[in-house]
Chain A
Amino acid sequence: MGKKPMKFIGRGLVDKGDKKSAVGKIYLIIERCKGCNLCIEFCPKDVLKESSVFNKKGYHPPELIEVPGEKMCVGCGYCSLICPEFAIYTEIEEDEKEAE
């Protein structure tokens, strides 16, 4: 196990040029959240953080990190797949889809 070297492609090396990233919308079903924080930890864009509020079950659901510019949701849907509770999902904004 682990004998072969792993190949990494650094994200920073990809020439983005003038391409605009897609903009995603995040939807949250707040009462389903059990506060496992998987979406927060594993968001590829790091756009989420734990909030300070409680839902009805007493968990802290995620909220957006309010940093404009780089750290924007791109609607990749990773949080949707990784959420064990079906509490979060993303959509790509329609006009941005066109631009892709």
Chain B
Amino acid sequence: MSMEFDVDYEYQDRCMYMAESHPSDEMLRDDRIPHIWCTGCGCGEIISTYIEAVKELDINPDKVAIVSGIGCIGRAAGYLKFDSFHTTHGRAIPFATGLKVARPELDVSVISGDGDLFAIGGNHIIHAARRNMDILVICSNNYTYGMTGGQFSPATPIDSFTTTTPYGNCERPFNLCDLLASAGAAYVARWTSIHVRRLQKSIKEALTKKGFRFIEVLTPCPTGFGRRNKMGTAIDTSKFYQDHGKIDHGADTRDVRLEDPLSDFSIGTFVDLDKETYLEAKERIFSREVKK
């Protein structure tokens, strides 16, 4: 089905250097690349920044585990060369909880989407935050269910057009960062897929911390949401994110609501607390009480 074009090999002489592999390939299931994501989709940047963060921290890749749910970004687990689990829709967090509690030496990260984590998985994520469970959750927020063709999600702004809100969305979105901050997360940040340097730094920061860590990453969905909401191409959306994302570290999460996809919005690290994690509390209580 896929069309193949004749390659102008002279081009290769004119341009740069041709390579067969990428430095990230060591942490990538490169036999599965190219991935399924659309041209310009922001999911790829989440993977590339995650890999860079793991590399720079020199974490043993054998001890990294990725869990994802269902959706476009749900496929992330299938592209990262760590122990990776692609679970059912919405259930990545409880699966990751089992993995982490049973084997605490693992660095367990959940990489999933706004629909997966906050609609069908909404109950799981608030409870993981409440427990201050020792997992990192990276949420690719593209305002929509991309994999099923662009329906509205709990992150879709009001009035937006999707395939199931053809006249405009009547529902208000969650403020994801505020929801998790109030549920008890130790670390809450928001970046976009164009802020790759800061996103990578944030992932690094989060990987060195304990407890429930949450990074929301706004990603363009040019094929689904963007197309129906005058957001243009992925380049247009990315430029918009670059121009309108205002860094506001430590902002009150109540003020970082994403009301309108076409106005200024706050990015940055909003919450960064040192508080006892689930595993620390478990250790403290059981070492005190259980000595019979």
Are A and B in direct contact (Cβ within 8 Å)? yes
List residues of A whose CB falls within 8 A of some B CB. 1-2, 4, 6, 25-30, 32, 34-38, 41-42, 51, 53-59, 62-64, 78, 80-87, 89
Q: Contact between B238 and A86 (Cβ–Cβ < 8 Å)?
A: no
Q: Is B39 part of the contact surface with A, judged by Cβ < 8 Å?
A: yes
- CB proximity to A under 8 Å, residues B220-271: 234-235, 238-239, 242, 244, 246, 248, 255-256, 263-266
Contacts A37-B235, A54-B6, A80-B48; A30 near B12 (Cβ below 8 A): yes
Distance A64 CA – B248 CA, assembled complex (angstroms): 36
Q: How far is the CB of A68 from chain B (nearest CB, A)?
A: 15
Q: Contact between B34 and A85 (Cβ–Cβ < 8 Å)?
A: yes
Picked from A4, A35, A59, A86, the residue with its CB within 8 Å of the CB of B48 is A86
Q: Contact between B17 and A1 (Cβ–Cβ < 8 Å)?
A: no
Contacts of A53 in B (CB 8 A): 7-8, 11
Contacts A41-B239, A57-B2; A1 near B263 (Cβ below 8 A): yes
Picked from B7, B8, B12, B17, the residue with its CB within 8 Å of the CB of A25 is B17
Q: How far is the CB of B190 from chain A (nearest CB, A)?
A: 12
Q: Is B132 part of the contact surface with A, judged by Cβ < 8 Å?
A: no
Q: Contact between B48 and A54 (Cβ–Cβ < 8 Å)?
A: no
Contacts A56-B4, A81-B49, A85-B34; A1 near B264 (Cβ below 8 A): yes
Q: Contact between B19 and A29 (Cβ–Cβ < 8 Å)?
A: yes
Contacts A1-B246, A4-B248, A41-B239; A82 near B45 (Cβ below 8 A): yes
Q: Is B196 part of the contact surface with A, judged by Cβ < 8 Å?
A: yes
Contacts of A38 in B (CB 8 A): 40, 234-235, 238
Contacts of B266 in A (CB 8 A): 1
Picked from A25, A58, A64, A89, the residue with its CB within 8 Å of the CB of B3 is A58
Q: Contact between B40 and A29 (Cβ–Cβ < 8 Å)?
A: no
Q: Contact between A55 and B197 (Cβ–Cβ < 8 Å)?
A: no
Contacts A83-B48, A87-B22; A64 near B8 (Cβ below 8 A): no
- CB proximity to A under 8 Å, residues B1-38: 2-8, 11-12, 14-25, 28, 30, 33-35, 37
Q: How far is the CB of B242 from chain A (nearest CB, A)?
A: 8
A-B contact count (CB 8 A): 133
Q: Is B94 part of the contact surface with A, judged by Cβ < 8 Å?
A: no
| 10 residue pairs bridging A and B, Cβ less than 8 Å apart | A28-B18, A28-B19, A29-B19, A36-B234, A41-B239, A54-B7, A62-B15, A63-B11, A81-B196, A84-B44
List residues of B whose CB falls within 8 A of some A CB. 2-8, 11-12, 14-25, 28, 30, 33-35, 37, 39-45, 47-49, 52, 194, 196-197, 200, 234-235, 238-239, 242, 244, 246, 248, 255-256, 263-266
Closest residue of chain A to B4 (Cβ to Cβ) is A56
Contacts of B24 in A (CB 8 A): 80, 86, 89
Contacts A6-B246, A81-B200; A86 near B44 (Cβ below 8 A): yes
Q: Contact between B40 and A36 (Cβ–Cβ < 8 Å)?
A: yes
Distance A55 CA – B34 CA, assembled complex (angstroms): 13
Q: Contact between B235 and A26 (Cβ–Cβ < 8 Å)?
A: no
Q: Contact between A85 and B33 (Cβ–Cβ < 8 Å)?
A: yes
Contacts A38-B40, A41-B238, A82-B196; A30 near B22 (Cβ below 8 A): no
Picked from A28, A57, A59, A83, the residue with its CB within 8 Å of the CB of B16 is A28
Contacts A1-B255, A80-B48; A27 near B238 (Cβ below 8 A): no
Distance A33 CA – B251 CA, assembled complex (angstroms): 38
Contacts of B6 in A (CB 8 A): 54
